[in-house]
Amino acid sequence: MPASIEEILDSHKTRRTVLMGVLNVTPDSFSDGGKFMDPAAAKDQAARMVAEGADILDVGAESTRPGSDPVTPGDQISRLEGILPEIAGLGAVVSIDTTSAAVAEFALDCGAQIINDVSAGTMDEAIIPLAASRDASMVLMHMLGKPKTMQSQPHYRDVVLEVRNFLEERLQVAEKMGLPRSRCIVDPGIGFGKRLEHNLSLLAGVGILAGLGCPVLVGPSRKRFIGELTSQEDPNKRLAGTIAACVEARRRGATIIRVHDLAAASDALKVALAIESAEQA
């Protein structure tokens, strides 16, 4: 059974693993662009992900890959129209991957319960108040700059501390706007304005983010840093590396894992968790 929204928001306390399946209804996402723009293909993929263990379906209509251009809210909504209402009935919690309050509002009207905002509410100031007024939950993610330019010379003095401080600040802004910490999820933003060493430090230091008192989400799936470590240029050949990153992040305190390949991640995390439980017994 997929986790309920309450179980997702409590996962840092219970240590339940929550799997978030990625569904991009975009022509240009970095690993699956163009595959799921057709509503029937999108619905099939969503149903497959739920059958393979997805607790959350994260639907996005705008690529945020490095160098990408923004997509207008109207265009995002027209990509989502034929898809979101169908997906909301599959049994998993639906999350909308957008920085736009108008798109988020449309998704909430279609049954979404989580707004996954890679800008943590900095790109559209109406998005946090929207989540607050609609009793929705939010993912607050760290990103350095904007997708168009974020990979040009990212620099940090202490990446884990800076990301932690940014997320704490955004949690306080959310609380002031009426969205309690208990409805927020934090995310270090793997690959968003980060070099290889930054991504590795953040995955290794994910336990520090768990200290913020919210579930921690990580999204290493198929990303470039895995290609850099494994020499796999093709994002679709980064599954083994993705699994290693997910298992290590889970072990260090992340409970929500955002992936494209549900079956493999689900099996790997079950085995890792069984070993972890045997160690504690």
How far apart (Å, rounded) are the C-alpha atoms in residues 54 and 20?
A: 6
Region from 20-28, 73-81, 148-156, 271-279 binding ligand HH2, contact rule CB under 6 A? 20-28
| Minimum CB distance to ligand HH2, residue 275 (Å) | 26
Please say if 176 is a catalytic residue.
no
Q: Is 105 in the site for ligand HH2 (CB under 6 A)?
A: no
How far apart (Å, rounded) are the C-alpha atoms in residues 136 and 78?
A: 22
Nearest residue to 262 (alpha-carbon basis) of 9, 2, 61? 2
How far apart (Å, rounded) are the C-alpha atoms in residues 128 and 121?
A: 6
Residue 160 CB contacts under 8 Å (≥ 6 apart), including other chains: 201, 202, 205, 208, 209
Q: Is 142 in the site for ligand HH2 (CB under 6 A)?
A: no
Nearest residue to 23 (alpha-carbon basis) of 107, 100, 106? 107
Instruction: Report the residue number whose CB is nearest to ligand HH2.
Output: 219
Region from 38-46, 83-91, 186-194, 245-253 binding ligand HH2, contact rule CB under 6 A? 186-194
Annotated catalytic residue, options 43, 79, 195, 258: 258
| Minimum CB distance to ligand HH2, residue 65 (Å) | 4
> Per-residue x/- marks for ligand HH2, 42-71, CB under 6 A?
------------------x--xxx------
Binding residue count for ligand HH2, defined by CB under 6 A: 21
Please say if 252 is a catalytic residue.
no
From start to end of the chain, where are the E strands?
Answer: 18-24, 56-60, 93-97, 114-117, 137-141, 184-187, 217-218, 256-259
Residue 85 CB contacts under 8 Å (≥ 6 apart), including other chains: 110, 111
Contact 224, 191 (CB under 8 A): yes
Residue number with CB closer to ligand HH2 (69 or 279): 69
Residue number with CB closer to ligand HH2 (31 or 230): 31
- Placement of tokens 């920085």 in the chain: 99
Q: Is 242 in the site for ligand HH2 (CB under 6 A)?
A: no
Residue 280 CB contacts under 8 Å (≥ 6 apart), including other chains: none
Residue number with CB closer to ligand HH2 (139 or 179): 139
Tell me which residues are annotated as active site.
223, 258
Site for ligand HH2, rule CB under 6 A: 22, 24, 26, 29-31, 60, 63-65, 97, 116, 118, 139, 141, 187, 189-190, 217, 219, 258
